[in-house]
Amino acid sequence: MMEGGEFAAVKILFFLMAMLAGASVRAGAEPIRVASLSTVMADLARDIGGDRVEVVEIVKPGMDPHIFEPSPGDYKTIANSRLLLASGLGFEGYLDKLRPVLEKSGVRLVVGGEVVKPIEGACEGHDHSEDHHHHGTADPHWWQSVSNVQLVARQIRDALIATDPEGQGTYEKNAAKLDARLEDLGKWVRLQIVQLPKKNRVLVTSHDALGYFAKDYGFEILPVQGISTSDQPSSQKVRDLIGRIQERGVKAIFAESIENPKVLGQITAETGAKPGGMIYADGLGSGETGTYDGMMRHNVTTIVEALK
């Protein structure tokens, strides 16, 4: 049995412990607000920032960043943030319009595409003229390479430290843990890819988004280009693609955005290639694909299963 005095002492001890726990989340301090135009970079910032940052996703998972334009409300949210994360390399066609707002409000801009080695986009002839943004010549989908994501994670760590020097220890510790997880992810991806015979490493895709993935892991891309809604199944472009798929014995195609079901139907009927499943090209999804790690594992598993 506990005596009264002892019991009170225990209560005080618990009270002190609770206070200390609260203090470790920084008593009274507002979190550093980070606005993000990239679902991948938002995920990295949450991992690195922990309790010290609040990530506001302007572009949310499941949105199509190809047709996104910031609203006046988004401009306000961005102006009220300390950092803005963007993919760059032309992915956000409206970024130049945002720059004066960022300068005026003292928002630090972190552009992932500035710390990776860009590769050329595979999309000669890909008709983006009606899109809200243009990919330009560099392929902006750098997150399809795990080693690029490691570079961008370091960039985000450094930007957070520059904005919030008090948090340096936290950011460095969290970034080191994240880097180790990404290193493991990169190794896992390679272990999956080696299960595929080299001759099977062909990606037939309608989206010029897998260039970095192809370069890192030795895939060839057969782009479904210039095959738009207006193309009739008889077009020469479709015939050429069917010829190439047959020649290579490709088992699956990742062409979810061929909008013309007749064309897709003709390709699958004539080649025997099956639709390979959903690949997350432009950003994160939800549920198990709601993190970068989960998205990459999903994409790689889908590709390997379909091409085996």
Residues that bind Zn ion (CB under 5 A): 209, 282
Q: How far is the CB of 258 from Zn ion (least distance, A)?
A: 15
What's the maximum distance between 2 C-alpha atoms anywhere in the chain?
91
Q: How far is the CB of 67 from Zn ion (least distance, A)?
A: 11
Contact between 206 and 264 under an 8 Å Cβ cutoff? The reply is: no
Closest to Zn ion by CB, 123 or 245: 123
Closest to Zn ion by CB, 126 or 157: 126
Q: How far is the CB of 63 from Zn ion (least distance, A)?
A: 12
Contact between 298 and 54 under an 8 Å Cβ cutoff? The reply is: no
Closest to Zn ion by CB, 32 or 41: 41
Backbone conformation region of residue 134, classed left if phi is above 0, alpha if psi is from -120 to 50, else beta: beta
Closest to Zn ion by CB, 167 or 223: 223
Question: For 57, what's the count of Cα atoms within 13 Å in the CB-facing half-sphere?
Answer: 18
Contact between 146 and 216 under an 8 Å Cβ cutoff? The reply is: yes
Q: How far is the CB of 17 from Zn ion (least distance, A)?
A: 50
Token pair recorded at residue 115: 């710390």
Closest to Zn ion by CB, 86 or 102: 86
Closest to Zn ion by CB, 142 or 171: 142
Task: Determine how many CB atoms are found less than 10 A away from the CB of residue 286.
Answer: 10
Report the distance separating Cα 83 and Cα 160, nearest Å. 8
Quick one: which of 171, 138, 139 has its CA closest to 154? 171
Report the distance separating Cα 70 and Cα 56, nearest Å. 13
